[in-house]
Amino acid sequence: MDAIDYSEEISFQKYWLVLKRRWLLIALISSSLLGLSAFYALTRAPVYEAAGKLLFKSDKTSTLVGIKSDSGQLEALTQKSDPLSTQAELLRSLSIARETIESLNLTDNQGKRLTPKAFSNLLIAKPVVGTDILQLTYRAKNPELAATVVNRVMQAYLKDNVTFNRKEAVSAKKFIVEQLPETEKAVNQAEANLRQFKEANGIVALEQEASATVTGLSTLDKEITDTQAELTQANARTSELRSQVGMDAKTALAITALNQSENVQKALTEIQQVRAKLAKQRTIYSPKHPEIDLLQRQETAARGVLQEQVAEILGANLQVPNGKLQIGTTAQSLVADLAKAEVERFSLAQRLQALARSQSAYLARSQSLPALEKTQRELERQLDAAQTTYKTLLTKLQEVQVAENQAVGNATIVSAAEVQPEPVESKTLLYLVAGGVAGLLLGTATAFLVDYSDRSVKTLREARELFQYTLLGVIPTVGDSERLGGDQAIPQVISRDRPSFAAQEAYQMLHANLRFLTSDKQLKSIVVTSSARKEGKSTIAANLATAMSQVQRRVLLVDADLRYPCQHHVWSVLNQVGLSNLIVGQVKFRDAVQVITPHLHVMTSGVLPPNPLALLDSKRMADLIESFTQDYDFVIFDAPTLSGTADATVLNKMTDGSLLVVRPGVINAADGKAAKHYLAQSDQTVLGMVVNHFDTGNEPDSYFYYNKEMEPTVQSERDISVSDSLNQR
């Protein structure tokens, strides 16, 4: 069962009820532990105790010689750790235990060699509060042995302490010696990487180079601006001179060269002379005259000579008109100026290109400088880190060499163990009290654990919280129960078998609650069922029918449990024919009904069919129920439990509803939840629930009271032997 939430109130009465339910378990555990404590206290032999003290201090030898060393220092690794507690555990270590056992040949009570674990359990090491002193105690049956063990343990610890401190130094030295070559190699590699980087990138002083690059770019920008201005002026002058001479600069240079050539001018003069003679002779002779022909051949020859001279000076690709081969002084001066201006313009253009190339080179270098600076800084950092590690290792090597040669620990014996002639004070009473208290606590805890793990519904309150149905009645506990053949029980009729005023009043109250449950419709038929067996559903059905008949209501009690019927046992009648026979039409109604009283008739189950559900879930059954309700004031069906069968749910659909019987201590939460879920899922009409076998002594709340003085006394031997079977079904 799920744990009940008591967060709304703290009820000590609920805890008291748990103790009442589990008192036997508590008593058994408490008495067992108390007995064991008494046996242990009375059979213990005298025990002697010896104690010694160790003082822990920091080793200042390294500091005195000017070298810092942490070897042998007591330090806490975390805020919660205690260095003295750590040393206490080292004192109780297995290695010291083995050495002490072997040296003193320690044995246990059976004469066997004492195990290190058992020895450590006898040895107690704890810090003295507020000091740096650790107290070591040991108990033994021999006082001399106790003192000897303590002193031997302290000596073994001091020896191990010195060895351990030196071992740390040796290990550190070994590590440093192994790391030094690698560290030196790393330094050399870092230096080589930095040198190769500078050589590959032409770096001498990167910061100065960056400053010079910025200055050079500024100077180049100014020179480029000035050159561009001069080139603009040269272009303007050249254009002006071209317009004046009517030719381009290349032609002007060619004409200047031809006018300055003596051979060209001589050839031109010869041509001019031949032309003059030819013109004179043409006035005298006819065109075909030999003289004219001679002069024409001379002119042609002179032109060929001129062309050869021009081609020799200008080349074959440049042609100059013959009229430009001889120009005047002014024209020659302009052509010379044009040539000079063209040369100057070309020179400025070449200079501007050179400056642009220099500027591009500077810009490319300046763009690569940040990456070079980053790489250089990274290489320098690697070099610095390698050099620092190397220097640190050299320093630490000196320190560990000093620590390795030390033979001083960080603990000193301030109080050796002495033989104590008196045994440790007897604690028999303390053992008894401790055993009793421990037994009581363990028994109580076990009781609550067992009660918590018990999944059954124990009280009326838990039943109401589990089902949350309307509580229509509470039936008190009456007497014991009588078993018939195993688990079969005979339910009792209270007014007949065991008169009980409280129980009779409870059934009358249940009858009244059912009668006034609804105001718009009068109940005529109900199904009495339960979540599981042994909750007393058959008892509730029988006694409810009796209570109704006592107020002059005609009641029909039908044993509809065609699986485990018992109403024929209750009323001590035969079960030869009954409901099953009536459903299949083997008998008539008057033959299936047995008269108990004028107002109470009982119909037993009849012959048990192989398939009870097929009979109950039939139109014949529905017609029978309708006829029952017409003939009687009230019809009560004693139906099977909800666990594992659908008989009760089938009958529920044919009647006015179901009455759910709940018995604390029998039903568990799992069955209850399953039943509730099944009822809700199948859309059953649940009129309410009745709590059976109610015991006010086990209830935390007073839901029900009755006066025991009003109970009748036992009158017959049957009243003593017959059990309260109504609380078992």
* pLDDT higher than threshold 90 for residue 525: yes
Mean pLDDT check: name the lowest of 186-190, 290-294, 523-527. Answer: 290-294
Q: Cα separation of 393 and 179, whole Å?
A: 8
Tell me which residue has tokens 């005529």: 524
DSSP character at residue 46: P
What is the 3 state secondary structure string of 317-357? CCCCCHHHCCCCHHHHHHHHHHHHHHHHHHHHHHHHHHHHH
Q: Cα separation of 231 and 235, whole Å?
A: 6
CB-based burial, 180-209: b 16+ in 10 Å, e otherwise? eeebeebbeebeeebeebbeeeebeebeeb
As to burial, measured by CB atoms within 10 angstroms (0-12 exposed, 13-18 middle, 19+ buried), residue 544 is buried
Report residue 426 as tokens.
């007897």
Q: Is the separation of the CB atoms in 345 and 234 below 8 Å?
A: yes
CB-based burial, 236-258: b 16+ in 10 Å, e otherwise? ebbeebbeebebebebbbbbbbb
Ramachandran angles phi, psi of 520, nearest 5°: -90, -20
Q: Cα separation of 114 and 98, whole Å?
A: 9
Tell me which residue has tokens 């180049």: 220
* pLDDT higher than threshold 60 for residue 74: no
Is residue 667 classed as helix, strand or coil in its secondary structure? coil
* pLDDT higher than threshold 70 for residue 489: no
Q: Cα separation of 164 and 72, whole Å?
A: 8
Quote the pLDDT of residue 368: 65
Mean pLDDT check: name the lowest of 91-100, 190-199, 556-565. Answer: 190-199
Quote the pLDDT of residue 158: 82
* pLDDT higher than threshold 80 for residue 40: no
C-alpha to C-alpha distances, 179 to 165, 301, 392, nearest whole angstrom: 21, 100, 11
Per the DSSP assignment, residues forming a β-bridge with 413 are 54
What is the tens place of the pLDDT at every residue in 325-375?
555 566 667 777 777 777 787 888 888 788 788 777 767 666 666 777 777
- Provide the residue type at 286 as one letter: S
C-alpha to C-alpha distances, 300 to 121, 181, 311, 319, 565, nearest whole angstrom: 141, 98, 16, 18, 160
Report residue 486 as tokens.
């195993």
Bigger pLDDT: 594 vs 489:
594
* pLDDT higher than threshold 50 for residue 6: no
- Provide the residue type at 415 as one letter: S
- Provide the residue type at 525 as one letter: S
Tell me the average pLDDT across 188-208. 75
Report residue 81 as tokens.
């750790």
Tell me the average pLDDT across 147-169. 80
pLDDT category, 658, cuts 50, 70, 90? Answer: very high
* pLDDT higher than threshold 90 for residue 605: yes
Q: In which region does residue 145 sit, left (phi positive, over 0), alpha (psi from -120 to 50) or beta (all else)?
A: alpha
Q: Cα separation of 647 and 639, whole Å?
A: 7
* pLDDT higher than threshold 90 for residue 206: no
What is the tens place of the pLDDT at every residue in 211-265?
767 777 778 788 888 888 887 887 887 777 777 666 666 666 666 666 666 676 6
Bigger pLDDT: 127 vs 626:
626
Bigger pLDDT: 619 vs 394:
619
Report residue 357 as tokens.
């190339």
The per-residue pLDDT of the chain, averaged, comes to 76
For the ranges 201-215, 457-471, 594-608, the maximum mean pLDDT occurs at: 594-608
Q: In which region does residue 566 sit, left (phi positive, over 0), alpha (psi from -120 to 50) or beta (all else)?
A: alpha
What is the tens place of the pLDDT at every residue in 257-311?
666 666 766 777 777 777 788 777 777 877 777 877 787 777 787 777 777 767 7
What is the percent of the chain with per-residue pLDDT over 70, rounded to a whole number? 73
Tell me the average pLDDT across 414-424. 80
Count of alpha carbons within 13 angstroms of residue 611, beta-carbon side: 5
Q: Cα separation of 547 and 633, whole Å?
A: 13
**H or E stretch including 411?**
strand 411-415
* pLDDT higher than threshold 60 for residue 729: no
CB atoms within 10 A of CB 584: 14
Q: Cα separation of 124 and 135, whole Å?
A: 8
As to burial, measured by CB atoms within 10 angstroms (0-12 exposed, 13-18 middle, 19+ buried), residue 135 is middle
Report residue 168 as tokens.
């740390």
As to burial, measured by CB atoms within 10 angstroms (0-12 exposed, 13-18 middle, 19+ buried), residue 592 is buried
Mean pLDDT check: name the lowest of 360-369, 526-535, 536-545, 610-619. Answer: 360-369
pLDDT category, 711, cuts 50, 70, 90? Answer: very low
Closest CA to 137 of 467, 541, 557, 420: 420
- Contacts with 643 (C-beta within 8 Å, 6 or more apart), sequence order: 531, 532, 533, 671, 674, 675
Per the DSSP assignment, residues forming a β-bridge with 555 are 600, 634
DSSP character at residue 483: B
Quote the pLDDT of residue 608: 92
Q: Is the separation of the CB atoms in 3 and 455 below 8 Å?
A: no
Bigger pLDDT: 294 vs 629:
629
Tell me which residue has tokens 């009755």: 706
Quote the pLDDT of residue 236: 80
Query: Length of the chain in residues, anyone?
Result: 729
Tell me the H-state helices in 501-634.
501-515, 537-549, 567-570, 579-583, 589-592, 612-616, 619-631
Q: Is the separation of the CB atoms in 684 and 656 below 8 Å?
A: no
DSSP-based helix, strand, coil % in the chain, nearest 5? 60, 10, 30
Q: Is the separation of the CB atoms in 298 and 267 below 8 Å?
A: no
Q: Interhelix angle for 249-259 vs 206-245, to 10°?
A: 70
- CA 618 remoteness from chain centre: 58
Closest CA to 301 of 327, 275, 337: 275
Torsion sign across C-alpha atoms 711, 712, 715, 718 = negative
- Provide the residue type at 646 as one letter: A
DSSP character at residue 687: E
* pLDDT higher than threshold 60 for residue 55: yes
Quote the pLDDT of residue 269: 77
